[in-house]
Amino acid sequence: MPRVYQRKTGNPYALPHNTYMRTVYVVRDYDRLRSQRAETARRRVGAVERALGELPPEYRKGVFEYMARGRAYPITAGIATWRRQQQKFVWHVAALLDEC
C-alpha cells in the first residue's frame, strides 16, 4: 500500500495523527466492509461513500483507488492537487464517523 502522509502546514483539514491513521484504515478496509452486514460496517461504508460525494467528480475515482486499493493517481492533475483532495476526503470520512 502507498504511504499516506498528512500535510502539516497550511492544511485546513489537519487531523490528529491517530485519528488520521484510523480513518485511513477504514478507507483501506472498504471492500471487506461492503461484504459485511454489521451495523458498524454499514456506517463506515456509508461514511466513505458520502465523503467521496464531497470531492469534485474528476478526483473521486483517483483518490479512492489510491487510498483503498493502492493504485497510482492518474496523470490528469499534479501530485499536490491529488494530495489536497486526499486530505479533504480523509477529513470528511473522519467527520462523518464523528472522529474529529
For the chain, how far is it from start to end, CA to CA, in angstroms?
25
**Predicted local distance difference test score (pLDDT) of residue 44:** 93
**Predicted local distance difference test score (pLDDT) of residue 2:** 67
CA atoms of 87 and 91, how far apart (whole Å): 6
Q: Which residues of the chain have pLDDT under 50?
A: none
CA atoms of 48 and 34, how far apart (whole Å): 11
Angle, in degrees to the nearest 10, between helices 39-53 and 17-28: 100
The model's pTM: 0.87
**Predicted local distance difference test score (pLDDT) of residue 7:** 80
**Predicted local distance difference test score (pLDDT) of residue 10:** 83
